[in-house]
Structure 1
Amino acid sequence: MLRFYIDELLQKKNKTRYWLSKETGISYPAIKKIADNETVSISIENLQKLCDALECDLNNLLRK
């Protein structure tokens, strides 16, 4: 199963989930579900927004 590693990336940047929500335009509840690995689907557009904001590629954002 793929897992999101958003909190690790945020910690490295000394940023919060709230910051990520504002930076990407993705609602805070959606960011929370994604970061807690509780989401069942995510759009390609939102994946791109997360990668852009966190300055990472998909391999850093998602892992097995």
Structure 2
Amino acid sequence: MSLTLGDKINKKLNESNKTAYWLSKKSGIAFGALYPILTNKRLNPTFSTMEKIADALDISLDEFRTEKEG
């Protein structure tokens, strides 16, 4: 079973000892817009939102790609 987008972001935050509040401030994404992504309530954020998250976490967008099984 693959991780959801929110799970992947939360994992990166935990690995770097950062909080969702930090990510909101660093990425420029309002916490109210970021929270549904982190809690898997919003599963398809815009590309520009994902760019901001990846840039804030200093990772490639490829790390958020869905892994295909099989």
TM over 0.5: yes
Higher Cα Rg: structure 1 or 2? 2
> Which residue is equivalent to 2:56?
53
TM-score, normalised via structure 2 length: 0.76
Larger proportion of strand:
1
Cα offset, 1:60, TM superposition? 2.0
> Which residue is equivalent to 2:37?
34
Task: State the AA in 1 paired with 2:38.
Answer: A
Q: Greater relative contact order (Cα 8 A, min sep 6): structure 1 or 2?
A: 1
Task: State the AA in 2 paired with 1:27.
Answer: A
% identity of equivalent residues: 33
TM-score, normalised via structure 1 length: 0.82
> Which residue is equivalent to 2:9?
6
Aligned length: 64
- Asked whether the 8 Å contact 1:2–1:62 carries over to 2, the reply is no
What is the RMSD computed on CA atoms of the aligned residues? 2.0
Structure 2: segments with no counterpart, 5+ residues: none
Cα offset, 1:10, TM superposition? 0.3
